[in-house]
Chain A
Amino acid sequence: KQEVTQIPAALSVPEGENLVLNCSFTDSAIYNLQWFRQDPGKGLTSLLLIQSSQREQTSGRLNASLDKSSGRSTLYIAASQPGDSATYLCAVRPGTGGFKTIFGAGTRLFVKA
């Protein structure tokens, strides 16, 4: 049974810091991994999608890496800004068939001005 864990649960950093959010999963047989951003009470906005054959994806100040063998993904945010304050969710889609995507509980990020 796939389980997804995100560490830390919450993070508070001063503006301008580079930071790393961690996601771990128990079953390495994945189809892809997706990072989302969620503002309070809102839906999910897709940030980056990494296919199982890929090692990393980049979009602007965001970089996500994937290490299937160790069951880990990291989301790197460069030069953090107050507008980055949100909850970041990691989601794993299984590679064994079906579309049941498993989410972590998220990391709540607060960037102080």
Chain B
Amino acid sequence: ETGVTQSPTHLIKTRGQQVTLRCSSQSGHNTVSWYQQALGQGPQFIFQYYREEENGRGNFPPRFSGLQFPNYSSELNVNALELDDSALYLCAGLKQGYNYGYTFGSGTRLTVV
């Protein structure tokens, strides 16, 4: 149990559809970040949320959006899915403070066909 839970574990969508991925983080993880990991590559930063507001974004188009809720859960929404969106999507929680690193969930494997 890492303290970060993602759902669903696997998902198959058709090109052009929309998808919502969910992340539940333990209390104290006031920052949540989302990453996309293509096969054989390192995770790429999508965006992060702090106290329910986006405060950092990577090189991803606006059709990637997110939400963070007061109970530390969050969502990643992707509109107009493309084949290249097929990847493992990872959510990471971060506690405030010097001594803490990221805690990752197990990820959601999204396949776009």
A residues near B, CB below 8 A? 4, 32, 34, 36, 41-46, 49, 51, 89, 91, 93, 98-106
Contact = CB atoms under 8 A, between A and B. Distances in A.
B56 A99 contact: yes
A99 B94 contact: yes
Given A44-B90, A100-B56, A101-B33, A91 B102 contact: yes
A100 B58 contact: yes
A46 B44 CA distance: 17
Interface in B46-61: 48, 50, 55-56, 58
A100 B107 contact: no
B109 A105 contact: no
Nearest to A33: B101
Contacts of A42: 106-107
Q: Chain B, interface size: which category?
A: 20 to 34
Interface of B: 2, 6, 31, 33, 35, 40-45, 48, 50, 55-56, 58, 88, 90, 92, 94, 98-107, 109
B31 A44 contact: no
A41 B3 CA distance: 19
Tell me what chain A mostly uses at the interface: helix, strand, loop, or mixed: strand
A91 B33 CA distance: 14
A41 B109 contact: yes
Among the interface residues A41, A99, A102, A106, which one has the most CB atoms of the partner chain B within 10 A?
A99
Contacts of B48: 99-100
B87 to A, nearest CB: 12
Given A43-B90, A99-B33, A34 B107 contact: no
A93 B109 CA distance: 25
A46 B104 contact: yes
